[in-house]
């Protein structure tokens, strides 16, 4: 598959890995639509200090974030927090891309 033909990427899971994928796609020059969906209420955050510095009161919640929340909109990454993905229809996604290509 030619990755230049991919117009939209949906990432399920807004943890460290998901956040990193979204950022790297942009930094690597991907110009299509990126949607990052996570069921937790917060943008991607670091877990190690959660059980250490955060619970000990040494870290505020903002310092847990891997990147400031504004980075996602700055980089045109649609971040949907508090949203659980319950079903993925891979076949339809493939069909939708085919239709888009056929229309060009
Ligand atoms: C309290 C704690 C302390 C830790 N300390 C350390 C440490 O000191 N050193 C170390 O090396 N590692 C540590 N870890 C482990 C490390 O943080 C994990 O390896 C890392 O978080 C993995 O990142 P990930 O993005 O792959 O997965 P996760 O962090 O699990 O992120 C996955 C995300 O996807 C979301 N998600 C899953 N399914 C769906 C769905 N269907 N729809 C929407 N969202 C979904 C989840 O809610 C979650 O936010 C710690 C973990 C915890 C919990």
64 CB near ligand 1 (under 6 Å): no
Residue 5, CA distances (Å) to 55, 78, 100 in order? 45, 20, 10
Share of the chain above pLDDT 90, in %: 53
pLDDT at 88: 84
pLDDT at 3: 60
Q: How far is the CA of 15 from the centre of ligand 1 (A)?
A: 6
Average pLDDT, the chain: 85
3-state secondary structure 44-78: CECCHHHCCCCCCCCCCHHHCECCCCHHHHHCCEE
CA 96 to CA 100: how far, in whole Å?
6
pLDDT at 104: 26
CATH architecture of structural domain 3-103: 3-Layer(bba) Sandwich (3.50)
Is 2's pLDDT higher than 80?
no
pLDDT at 1: 55
Q: What is the mean pLDDT of residues 69-97?
A: 84
Is 102's pLDDT higher than 50?
no
Phi, psi of 12 (to 5 degrees): -95, 120
How far from chain centre, in Å, is Cα 95?
A: 23
Provide the residue ranges of all domains of the chain, joining segments of one domain with +: 3-103
Tokens 């020059």, located at residue: 29
Q: How far is the CA of 1 from the centre of ligand 1 (A)?
A: 30
Q: What is the mean pLDDT of residues 9-21?
A: 95
Is 64's pLDDT higher than 70?
yes
Q: How far is the CA of 16 from the centre of ligand 1 (A)?
A: 7
């Amino acid at each position: 598959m030619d990755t230049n033909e991919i117009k939209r990427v949906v990432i399920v899971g807004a943890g460290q890995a998901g956040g990193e994928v979204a950022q790297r796609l942009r930094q690597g020059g991907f110009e299509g639509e990126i949607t990052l969906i996570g069921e937790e209420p917060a943008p991607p955050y670091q877990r190690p200090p959660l059980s250490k510095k955060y619970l000990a009161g040494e870290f505020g919640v903002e310092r847990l974030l891997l990147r400031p929340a504004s980075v996602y909109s700055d980089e045109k990454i649609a971040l949907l927090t508090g949203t659980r993905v319950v079903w993925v229809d891979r076949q339809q996604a493939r069909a939708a891309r085919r239709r888009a290509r056929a229309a060009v």
